[in-house]
Structure 1
């Protein structure tokens, strides 16, 4: 019989927590999604505006979450905040969406991106090849590699938080330095002709076509294009809140979670903006928009360093996505742990293994993420995830207003910066984003919403099976 423990071990310091925030945010997106953003907005100025809006929203949300994390420094993070502000149904819908779409599909998307860049070095892993042909269904080598990486990192994290911490801190420091180095070299070797051409019509908003012609939008379509463009930037900036899920393993969580959220999101937001400035200095807008398989960073590195540089950047992005998935996998199982404690998930997820981690939760997360790897393309997963994620961010931030009224005397070691103005601005921006996405990109936003709503009957079924009384 396996030896088990009953409590988490606080072993993560502020640096570890900050590296988890930054490392979970920087995966594959910043190296890829600027292509789709540029196709949607058609100019350098609007490219940066999209990243600025996303950066503002991310930082605002992170600073708002600081209040909640200080009030409830428990494993489960956002799931706990929603339960305390609303009721068990709302928190269950988040946990259900987190398990079925948000975390598992993000892990899959980052795993597929890892394989995408591996194929740049080793073409035998290409997503265009067929490894297994079942007649009605084919599996590519890229999908198999993504699955293999997810299984490997799940195993590593099942061995204890220190094993995952070592990978997270090492890989995050490596990718921060690498990304900073790419920015410095790119700006040093900036092409003045390309820079001038890209910034001459910096506020010309329109769809950039393959022939280089920009098709202007009507006013409403322009808002839709910006929302569509933000799908990629929001995905690239997401998962900053993963640190809240592992609150039970962070030393002095009331202080360090909020501080790590602020530090991590600021670092990444600045790096993202500078990276896009660098792109516009070495690549034409057309080259950014139509980079081979959207690998903008590889194209940029090719212009800066030549052929050897593209190999180096491909390895760097593999390191980045590997470290990102480690953070996602490490944090995710703690949400299922909290759900299990409330009787709203498999009871076995509440059991910590001999390494003081929720081993069963890690492995069922692994299974779902692997299934998502087989489901579709990278872009499809982005659209589905971004819509659901922003919806729950809005609910959680609105929860601050609810808790201020419900529990005015509760201890708040840290209060949301800019309250109530900044949280209100975030909610309004998030609402506009979600509405525009439903109107202009319904194909992949509705499935995410439907999956979330399916959680309502599932909640009542689970309550009936487990005879769990709702906590009012």
Structure 2
């Protein structure tokens, strides 16, 4: 009786509401191939404990149900603009105000790529996002081989995509620590690394505890969370225009560094920046990937893409322009990790600025939550497909992949030692470039391969789009890959590049071990079947 009373108490109810909110944020943000059936928000797709099933099956046809419209697809991707935060100061340090144009061109790149992904999503409705597309297209005719190259390629694409999003935890933990240190005078004397590690450990432990039990939410709550994650960014960015602190001369007078020239070295730097920019500005591919779940794919996909892309285009340009026009390039470089803090305090005052930054920190926690759940579900999915050891596929009694979550938390604590968000982002951008390049080449193959000519395509990209996809596939691999490697060598030596390639290469032994593990279990099953038949 006492236990039931405690469960009805106000603190317990508030905790439950918060857990539902933060859990559902994973379904309402972009970029992660986390349990796509969550987007339907249907009770049919949950088990008795309310845990979302990792399956694309529905009651009738074994495919995804068409239950969302373009507005829900848009809400899923509204968390993307927050991903600009780690790069504001970094981009300004290399190309000054020209960073505004870099963001605009990167969002345009997202448009070009996402039309291809939208068509792939409706061609392969059971595929789990970008990695699933690659695995479906590159699947070989002989499915009985123990070590199938196409499975390795599809799994590597999944691992690359996982690596692209997993370090979000470390990146935003550093940003939270940096903003708190600038906001609270008592933290001023704390060493940076110690602050970042404590921030990361606190957030990771908190989220593991919050997510230990499975919870689900409603679609209305998803819209609210999407707006809350975007609101502080927009408020802080628009404030300088309203208060008169924005100076256009800070942009026009500092368009490019005085020593900039269009030689090979600077073009490589620009390619590296584009590789990092697409990690943020192209991350709304979720609006396209949910193609098979739209009620009217032919009309809903382009609506979601255009409106989401337009919001991202305006937001990314607005944030970088507001920071540059208000603080100037020198002002941004004085606060490279947290330039939104001095801008908020300058335009909104001490109290208003502090409240806005606290809202921004809450939005960052939602992004960390999104990445945490998405990355853990990704590992669970890869383990279920036989591309990672079964250890990562084990769930607790509430349907939460705790093993994967703990490994990811430890992984990101190690990433924090790289010291800067840009260094971590540069390493993870290597994975994102690989995932995008492979997926775009998969689209090109799917357009020319006669095996896929009869597949239904409820949404089709404009005619000749395979050539656009081939161009941007080549832009990713090898151009942006070369650029990010070169940029890393300038910024932090070879540390980020080595970390990036080591993490990607780590997949190879893990994959071979998982194949051996799967073959061993298959052998045991055959022995058991033969014994039972006798």
What secondary structure, in the 3-state scheme, does the structure 2 residue paired with 1:198 have?
helix
Comparing 362-371 and 448-457, the one that deviates more: 362-371
Match of 1:198 in 2: 251
| CA distance, structure 2, for counterparts of residue 410 and residue 345 of structure 1 | 29
Assess, with a 3 A threshold, how the Cα gap between structure 1 residues 394 and 259 changes in structure 2: closer, same or farther. Answer: farther
Assess, with a 3 A threshold, how the Cα gap between structure 1 residues 463 and 217 changes in structure 2: closer, same or farther. Answer: same
| CA distance, structure 2, for counterparts of residue 161 and residue 174 of structure 1 | 20
Q: Is residue 145 from structure 1 mapped to residue 199 from structure 2 by the alignment?
A: yes
Assess, with a 3 A threshold, how the Cα gap between structure 1 residues 75 and 82 changes in structure 2: closer, same or farther. Answer: closer
Show the 5 A alignment for 1:347-366: 347=390, 349-350=392-393, 358=401, 360-366=403-409
Assess, with a 3 A threshold, how the Cα gap between structure 1 residues 348 and 75 changes in structure 2: closer, same or farther. Answer: farther
Q: Report the TM-score, using the length of structure 2 for normalisation.
A: 0.72
Assess, with a 3 A threshold, how the Cα gap between structure 1 residues 196 and 163 changes in structure 2: closer, same or farther. Answer: same
Aligned with 1:21 (options 68, 77, 88): 77
Match of 1:286 in 2: 330
Show the 5 A alignment for 1:150-229: 150-160=204-214, 162-163=216-217, 169-191=223-245, 194-200=247-253, 202=255, 205-206=256-257, 214-217=258-261, 219-229=263-273
Shift of the alpha carbon at 1:299? 2.4
Q: Is residue 95 from structure 1 mapped to residue 158 from structure 2 by the alignment?
A: yes
Q: Is residue 432 from structure 1 mapped to residue 479 from structure 2 by the alignment?
A: yes
Match of 1:62 in 2: 114
**Contact preservation (8 Å) 1:172, 1:323:** no
What secondary structure, in the 3-state scheme, does the structure 2 residue paired with 1:30 have?
helix
**Contact preservation (8 Å) 2:89, 2:335:** no
What secondary structure, in the 3-state scheme, does the structure 1 residue paired with 2:284 have?
coil
**Contact preservation (8 Å) 2:51, 2:214:** no
Shift of the alpha carbon at 1:269? 2.5
What secondary structure, in the 3-state scheme, does the structure 1 residue paired with 2:132 have?
helix
| CA distance, structure 2, for counterparts of residue 151 and residue 247 of structure 1 | 35
What secondary structure, in the 3-state scheme, does the structure 1 residue paired with 2:259 have?
strand
Cα deviation code 1:310-332 (max 9, x no counterpart): 31332132022112122222322
Shift of the alpha carbon at 1:397? 1.2
Shift of the alpha carbon at 1:81? 1.1
Cα deviation code 1:408-467 (max 9, x no counterpart): 111111123561343233224323222222234332234312432342343223212322
What secondary structure, in the 3-state scheme, does the structure 1 residue paired with 2:191 have?
coil
| CA distance, structure 2, for counterparts of residue 31 and residue 127 of structure 1 | 24
Shift of the alpha carbon at 1:400? 0.7
Shift of the alpha carbon at 1:47? 2.0
Provide the aligned length of Structure 1 versus Structure 2.
443
| CA distance, structure 1, for counterparts of residue 116 and residue 208 of structure 2 | 30
Q: Is residue 37 from structure 1 mapped to residue 106 from structure 2 by the alignment?
A: no
What secondary structure, in the 3-state scheme, does the structure 2 residue paired with 1:61 have?
helix
Cα deviation code 1:176-202 (max 9, x no counterpart): 23333333322233457x313531464
Aligned with 2:175 (options 110, 113, 118): 113
Cα deviation code 1:42-86 (max 9, x no counterpart): 3x3x22221112111223222221112222334732221121122
| CA distance, structure 2, for counterparts of residue 166 and residue 146 of structure 1 | 30
Segments of 5+ residues of structure 2 without an aligned counterpart are 1-47, 56-63, 139-149, 523-534
CA RMSD of aligned residues (A): 3.6
Segments of 5+ residues of structure 1 without an aligned counterpart are 131-138, 207-213
Higher RCO (C-alpha under 8 Å, 6+ residues apart): 1
